[in-house]
Structure 1
Amino acid sequence: MKRHNFKKLQIWQEAIELVTLNYKFTSTLPDYERFGLISQLNRCAVSIPSNISEGTSKRTNKHFVTFLEHSLGSAFEWETQLIICNNLNFISNETFIDFEKRIQKLQQKISNFIDSLDK
């Protein structure tokens, strides 16, 4: 298996962008959520590109796919946290829709990449 350069992977680039947007968003959440939703959202967001990059160091596609699956799981976890923020009115509807479109697009791209490596 040829190792991938994670910095050149579109899924990693989009995940990094999401981390930046996420941190800007979580800085607006109520201070009492510092150890709740803020921490959880930040950890989920950071985990997405981190697992992609860590996976590129693995020797086989099978091992790389495992890390991509972890990344995908974090993306779904982040989406769930976002829905909770929306339900608690911590996020504007416009921002929620934008984030939801971004994360669902990224989830699909990660899934497609996993499928391409599984062949």
Structure 2
Amino acid sequence: MSFKFEKLLIWQKAMDLAEEIHELSKKFPKEELYNLTGQINRAADSIALNIAEGSISQTNPEQHRFLGYSIRSIAEVVTCLYKAKRRNYITIEEFEKNYKDSFDLMNMTIGFKNNIK
């Protein structure tokens, strides 16, 4: 027994990205706890949460809306990654890896959204 969203590759990748971001954000300074750390974790978690919520929708417009929220959350994660890099909280390598993962997930999510009739 499983939920429909658990089979979705975009949901699985979103879950992986959120865990990576969570680990990465542990390196941020304590003064960022209620700012950038919280923001990047909420945005990363929101990606999979919205994919799951949209997957149980009964209408295509509602599915599109929730996938749109996921896409916006990916953009938010990327912006937070830029801020973390500019503030020297993460290395260039950490930035590039998570940027690529975010970029790939964004393209997969857009493709999935475009294939919903």
Query: Structure 1 residue 78 and structure 2 residue 48: aligned?
Result: no
Q: What's the TM-score once normalised by structure 1's chain length?
A: 0.94
Count of residues in Structure 1 that have an aligned counterpart in Structure 2:
115
- Distance in 2 (alpha carbons) for counterparts of 1:38 and 1:12: 22
Structure 1 residue 80: Cα displacement? 0.5
- Distance in 2 (alpha carbons) for counterparts of 1:28 and 1:88: 12
Per the alignment, residue 33 of structure 1 pairs with 32
Structure 1 residue 55: Cα displacement? 0.5
- Distance in 1 (alpha carbons) for counterparts of 2:36 and 2:43: 10
Counterparts in 2 of 1:7-26, with a 5 A limit? Answer: 7-26=6-25
What 5-or-longer segments of structure 2 have no aligned partner? none
- Distance in 2 (alpha carbons) for counterparts of 1:43 and 1:32: 17
Query: Structure 1 residue 100 and structure 2 residue 103: aligned?
Result: no
- Distance in 1 (alpha carbons) for counterparts of 2:61 and 2:106: 19
- Distance in 1 (alpha carbons) for counterparts of 2:64 and 2:5: 13
Runs of 4 or more off by more than 2 Å in structure 1? none
